[in-house]
């Protein structure tokens, strides 16, 4: 999955603003081998960050409001985009899935991005199947 630098910067800014609570949202874009916005992507390309409020307001976990998830899906469809990843920040821990992240990762069609503000800034995304990481991509 390709995440352009301007979107990475947007995620960092958002995560710093929401800290010490976790920040969260969806990464929208064009899936691999699919045409969208006049582009054919060889690998998935993120075109937008769709920020959503962490309704838990917690530094250790996050939840999306269902109404925000439906709004994000409607928005993505209206723009011809797909949800490529669910992402959240780890303000005080590394960029790797926690046990809770692994347990809650129940969509095998998307990636799970984690932006860490702990000991530098790191952004990784993961493919998670049956509670196990099966692929990791380093973005920053």
The pLDDT assigned to 41 comes to: 57
Strands of 7-116 (E only): list them. 24-30, 35-36, 39-40, 45-52, 82-90, 111-116
Tokens standing for residue 8? 């990475």
The pLDDT assigned to 70 comes to: 96
- Indicate if the pLDDT at residue 130 is higher than 60: yes
User: 0.85 cut: is pTM over it?
Assistant: yes
- Least confidently predicted of 28-37, 61-70, 79-88, 114-123: 28-37
**CA geometry: angle at 65 spanning 50 and 131, to 5°?**
85
**CA geometry: angle at 103 spanning 119 and 136, to 5°?**
50
- Indicate if the pLDDT at residue 28 is higher than 80: yes
Q: Kindly report, residue by residue over 49-104, the tens digit of the pLDDT.
A: 999 999 999 999 999 999 999 999 999 999 999 999 999 999 999 999 999 999 99
């Amino acid at each position: 999955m390709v995440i352009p630098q301007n979107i990475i910067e947007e995620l960092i800014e958002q995560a710093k603003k929401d800290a010490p609570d976790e920040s969260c949202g969806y990464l929208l874009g064009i899936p691999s081998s699919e045409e969208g916005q006049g582009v054919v992507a060889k690998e998935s390309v993120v075109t937008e960050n769709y920020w959503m409020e962490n309704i838990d307001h917690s530094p250790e976990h996050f939840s999306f409001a269902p109404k925000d998830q439906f709004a994000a899906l409607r928005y993505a469809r209206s723009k011809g985009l797909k949800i490529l990843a669910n992402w959240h920040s780890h303000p005080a821990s590394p960029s790797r899935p926690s046990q809770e992240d692994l347990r809650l990762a129940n969509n095998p069609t998307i990636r799970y991005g984690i932006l860490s503000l702990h000991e530098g800034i790191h952004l990784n995304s993961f493919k998670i199947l049956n509670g196990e990481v099966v692929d990791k991509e380093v973005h920053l």
